[in-house]
Amino acid sequence: MSTSSENSLSLIEEYYEEQIIRCMKCGMCQSICPVYYEDSLETGCARGKLALSEALLHGKLEPNHKIEMIFNKCLLCHACAQVCPVGLSPDKVFAAARAEMVKRYDMPWIKSLIYRKLLGEGKLSSLTGTLSLANRLKLFVLARSLSIPKIFGKSAIRLSFATLPDIPSKPFLDRFPELLEPNSKPIGTVGYFVGCAQNSVFQDVSEASVNILLALGYRVIIPKDQGCCGFPHYGAGDFETLKQKIIQNSSAFKKYKLDAIIISCATGGSGLKDVYPEMTKEDNLKTLGANVYDISEFLALKHLDDLKKMMPTDKKEKIKITYHDACHLNRLQGISSQPRQLLRIMPSYELVEMENSTKCCGEGGGFTFYYQNISSSIANRKKETIKNTGAKVVALGCPGCRAQISGALKQEGLDIDTKHTVCLLWDEIKKGKDSNF
């Protein structure tokens, strides 16, 4: 890939010219934008931000912090792209616009700390250590109760951080070896992309994913020197670090001969599948040495029948479960039927659809820092639709959604679990093993 610093600029200009000029200002994006739904302001919807981009491009407005904040007023949920009659991807334009702003103003210290230090360092251990320590000291809860958000100016401690589970002190990458062999002759070799959240906070997901792949007979390689996927940096406009991440992950995975790369993080999957080719102009096969699959996509596509055989037989009363479509799975990767296929083969659960399952939960990375009220309000709508199903468990495939939704549910003291689809699947497989003994 090209690493010249002009690369990001050319990307932006390309979008400015060809995407921005094509917006016909029909306003259809208003019909689906979760942010616009909350305050009905033109700053929310894609049309408004595309008009701003155009004005900047033609020198009719000068960049300033107010405009920077408007570009931050987007969840990158990609919903507008779904209804845009012209077929634009406005979220990509805004990510590029954020990158322009970062080039101009750099990042505030708090963002720089998060994106360059915690998520930007080579190995992911510093993030785990910091989060684990902070969580054990109840710093996030404290920060919320003391209204520390004010100290950070407009940013705020996220709803989700106050309700994180206990975080293991050791990251997943330190706990698991680089090479894992299955019990029988391997049917193939897959690489596992861990991702920040599942290396630190949600290690249950990485454990379940690796265990299922081993149980199916795969040799699993978890390259030690893999890093953050770079999507957070993409969203924050830090294209320089994003490019470093692409190089790092490229060399970490290309070392091995892999049949596939499996990821169980919706955002990371979007990063690898969608952002990497955008930045490098090359496909995953070239950049990473193998095609990338979300774990639910891979399992439903290749092993649905195998998994059925591994399910427990007892049919007690079924637990109602509902599924939330993460934007980064459903819209950016087109994955919505696959996790449902997996849920439907699990004998312990009965899938009940929630209304608007594809509506964003309001997390959107940095969005929660800048627009906490809107973010919470969107999360609360999601919470209501979940409540209405009567489900005891919400299945999903994204750590951001999981933190956001479990935060909203716990805030109201609701006894509804939020779990990754593969964690539920692994529990069933374990039950299946027990009942087979």
Distance in Å, CB of 327 to other proteins, minimum: 19
The pair of structure tokens assigned to 317 is: 């009363």
Q: Which residue from 8, 11, 16, 28 is in contact with other proteins, where contact means CB under 8 A?
A: 28
Q: Which residue from 7, 43, 82, 336 is in contact with other proteins, where contact means CB under 8 A?
A: 43
CB closer to other proteins out of 233 and 359? 359
What's the chain look like in SS3?
Answer: CCCCCHHHHHHHHHHHHHCHHHCCCCCHHHHCCHHHHHHCCCCCCHHHHHHHHHHHHCCCCCCCHHHHHHHHCCCCCCHHHHHCCCCCCHHHHHHHHHHHHHHHHCCCHHHHHHHHHHCCCCCCHHHHHHHHHHHHCCHHHHHHHCCHHHHHCCCCCCHHHHHCCCCCCCCHHHHCCCEECCCCCCCEEEEEECCHHHHHCCHHHHHHHHHHHHHCCEEEECCCCCCCCCHHHHHHCCHHHHHHHHHHHHHHHHCCCCCEEEECCHHHHHHHHHHHHHHHCCCHHHHHCCCEEEHHHHHHHHCHHHHHHCCCCCCCCCEEEEECCCHHHHHHHCCCHHHHHHHHHCCCEEECCCCCCCCCCCCCCCHHHHCHHHHHHHHHHHHHHHHHHCCCEEEECCHHHHHHHHHHHHHCCCCCEEEEHHHHHHHHHHHHHHHHC
Please give the sequence-ordered ranges of beta strands (E in DSSP) within 295-429, or none if there are none.
Answer: 319-323, 349-351, 393-396, 417-420
What track of x and - describes contact with other proteins for positions 6 through 25 (by CB under 8 A)? Answer: ------------x--xxxxx
CB closer to other proteins out of 41 and 285? 41
User: Residue 26, interface with other proteins (CB under 8 A)?
Assistant: yes
Distance in Å, CB of 43 to other proteins, minimum: 6
Distance in Å, CB of 375 to other proteins, minimum: 18
CB closer to other proteins out of 370 and 426? 370
Q: Which residue from 6, 87, 184, 315 is in contact with other proteins, where contact means CB under 8 A?
A: 87
Inter-CA distances, 421 with 36, 167, 305, 317, Å? 30, 20, 17, 20
CB closer to other proteins out of 58 and 318? 58
Distance in Å, CB of 355 to other proteins, minimum: 13
Q: Which residue from 42, 121, 282, 427 is in contact with other proteins, where contact means CB under 8 A?
A: 42
Strands 218-221, 417-420: pairing is: unpaired
Stretch that binds other proteins, among 7-15, 78-86, 199-207, 308-316 (CB under 8 A): 78-86
CA 315 to chain centre: 34
Distance in Å, CB of 6 to other proteins, minimum: 23
User: Residue 355, interface with other proteins (CB under 8 A)?
Assistant: no
Distance in Å, CB of 42 to other proteins, minimum: 4
Q: Which residue from 86, 146, 179, 352 is in contact with other proteins, where contact means CB under 8 A?
A: 86
The SS3 assignment for 283 reads coil
Distance in Å, CB of 89 to other proteins, minimum: 13
Stretch that binds other proteins, among 38-46, 146-154, 309-317, 359-367 (CB under 8 A): 38-46
Q: Which residue from 46, 52, 262, 321 is in contact with other proteins, where contact means CB under 8 A?
A: 52
Distance in Å, CB of 337 to other proteins, minimum: 17
Stretch that binds other proteins, among 41-49, 166-174, 243-251, 265-273 (CB under 8 A): 41-49
Q: Which residue from 83, 148, 180, 351 is in contact with other proteins, where contact means CB under 8 A?
A: 83
Number of residues that bind other proteins (CB under 8 A): 31
CB closer to other proteins out of 13 and 427? 13
Half-sphere exposure of 299 (CA within 13 A, CB side): 30
CB closer to other proteins out of 28 and 300? 28
CB closer to other proteins out of 87 and 413? 87
User: Residue 247, interface with other proteins (CB under 8 A)?
Assistant: no
Nearest-angstrom CA–CA distance, 334 and 152: 36
User: Residue 1, interface with other proteins (CB under 8 A)?
Assistant: no
CB closer to other proteins out of 51 and 311? 51
Interface residue list for other proteins (CB under 8 A): 18, 21-28, 30-31, 40-43, 48, 51-52, 54-55, 58, 60-61, 64, 66-67, 70, 83, 85-87
